A and B are shown apart, each in its own frame.
Chain A
Amino acid sequence: MVPPHGGKLVDRTVPFDKKEQKIREAASLAQIEVSSGLARDLENIAYGVLSPLEGFLCQDDYQSVLRNKRLTSDLVWTIPILLDTSKDNLKNVKEGDLVALVDAARLPFATLHVEEIYAFNKKELAERVYGTTEQAHPGVAKTFAMGDCLIGGKINLIEPLFDEFQRYELKPVETRVLFKEKGWRTIVGFQTRNIPHLGHEYVQKTALTFVDGLFVNPVIGKKKRGDFKDEVILDAYTTLLKSYYLKDRTVLAILRTEMRYAGPREAIFHAIIRKNFGCTHFVVGRDHAGVGNYYPPYAAQQIFDEFPDLRIIPLFFTAFFYCKKCESVVNEKICPHDAQYRIDFSGTQLRGKLSTSEALPKELIRPEVAEVLRKHKDPFVE
């Protein structure tokens, strides 16, 4: 089994028998409220999804990630995992304190050892991570909306967060056991935030041809307006897998996190996460984790050249489409026919057809999946 990133799978969860005691202790601590997105980051740290991180980044690591795309330990890391808050929230908190992290209902679910409190430059963060400071970029807008202070330090998760899709949530320690039980030695991870069309199926099955197992790992969490809703993505995938995939060769589990839309940097981040789940390979398509036209179409593939020590094998795919002459899903490397024969897998086109009662072409999407989409009255994020 491939070792986790940094060699050790992190576990920062409070054991069940100590939970009550920790909740009581947390009630007497200074409290910091965190957003649902930050709470998910924290949970991912605790479960080892973000190994080797054991908490939110302190300043040295933060600067190193921004400037070198590596932690101070020299380990590849491209997206800074940060806990931001306002100065007002820190009136009763100082470095060295143990504080309780609470949700919107003021219930403590974790503790944080405050190692460092520091200021940061939002413009620099946006520029380095997203390559732009335009607030039309959702990641940049979120950066400028952050509190003015960052808190670095190790965390402990006391109470898991509520999850309506818990049935599909697996921790890295669980996927690693699962892959072993299935006898898989090589596993390809597939990141998605979309419903599956035939182009995705083509990529997944092509990748699966070369390895033992396929790990389909949709991102569930806050997305941008116009993206498909989480429940629609999951319904569509369960339907597709049931009808068209070998059960012994495919696992579907969700990744609870927010999309950053950081393009190339996020592609590396996604690969690291899948390595922690036990994947040996990772699919990187055209404009992975991109938004608008902020990144060149294949920048998310080219960035892998910078990290020969990543220890997960990226599988690069070019744009794919349906060719009426070939009568199959193909890509520009294998199809010799003119553009006039192509039907592109355009998300915009699919959305357009869904918002009218126009039929979804079977060349683009499986009829069973199309039926699922039709059943959801309002499939898009508002």
Chain B
Amino acid sequence: MKTHELASCLPQFVITMYATEIPESLYNRIVARIRERNFNSVTDYASYVLREKLVMEEEASKPTFFKEEEIKTRLRDLGYL
């Protein structure tokens, strides 16, 4: 099977994209940066950075499973749960 035939057999994932606005100065800085790195567009770069930032924040705020169980025990002992 040729590559293009294989591709046509694979499920097609459609990603809905939304436009957002950023200040011109920030846009220009990103343009300068993506030239030095392997990003195709400002959108690619912004998506990458935001995804990284979100994961970092979500992980940082999440107690480990073990700690969460400990916390729930204390909350139950105190009558909060």
A-side interface residues toward B, CB under 8 Å? 1, 3-4, 7-9, 167, 170, 173-174, 176-178, 181, 251
Contacts of B58 in A (CB 8 A): 3
Selecting from B21-29, B38-46, B73-81, the interface stretch reads B73-81
Query: A170: which B residues are within 8 A, CB to CB?
Result: 75, 80
Q: Cβ of B57 and Cβ of A3 under 8 Å apart? A: yes
Alpha-carbon distance A3/B72, docked complex (angstroms): 20
| Chain B residues, Cβ within 8 Å of A173 | 63, 67, 71
Q: 1/0 contact trace for B49-64 toward A, CB 8 Å? A: 0000100111011010
How close is B45's CB to chain A, nearest CB, in angstroms? 20
CB contacts (< 8 Å) of A251 on chain B: these are 80
Instruction: Given A167-B78, A181-B81, answer yes or no on A1-B71 (Cβ-Cβ < 8 Å).
Output: no
Known: A170-B80, A177-B63. 10 other contacts (CB 8 A): A3-B58, A7-B57, A9-B60, A170-B75, A173-B67, A174-B71, A176-B63, A177-B75, A178-B75, A181-B75
Q: How far is the CA of A251 from the CA of B81 in the complex (A)?
A: 10
CB–CB A176/B61 < 8 A? yes
The 7 A-B residue pairs with the shortest CB-CB distance in the complex, in nearest-first order = A8-B60, A7-B57, A177-B71, A3-B57, A174-B71, A9-B61, A178-B75
Q: A83 → chain B, closest Cβ, in Å? A: 26
Residues of B in contact, count (CB < 8 Å): 16
Q: Are B78 and A177 closer than 8 Å at their CB atoms? A: no
Q: Do the beta carbons of A174 and B74 come within 8 Å of each other?
A: yes
Q: Point out the residues of chain A lying under 8 angstroms from B60, CB to CB.
A: 4, 7-9
Interchain CB contact (< 8 A) of B81 among A3, A167, A178: A178
A-B contact pairs, 24 of them (CB 8 A): A3-B57, A3-B58, A4-B61, A7-B53, A7-B60, A8-B57, A8-B61, A9-B61, A170-B75, A170-B80, A173-B63, A173-B71, A174-B71, A174-B74, A176-B61, A177-B68, A177-B71, A177-B75, A178-B75, A178-B80, A178-B81, A181-B75, A181-B81, A251-B80
Cβ A177 vs Cβ B72 within 8 A: yes
Rounded to whole angstroms, the CA-CA distance of A292 and B60 in the bound complex is 41
Among B56, B71, B80, B81, max chain A CB count under 10 A is at B80
Closest A-chain residue to B76, C-beta based? A181
User: Which B-chain residue is minimally distant from A173 (CB atoms)?
Assistant: B63
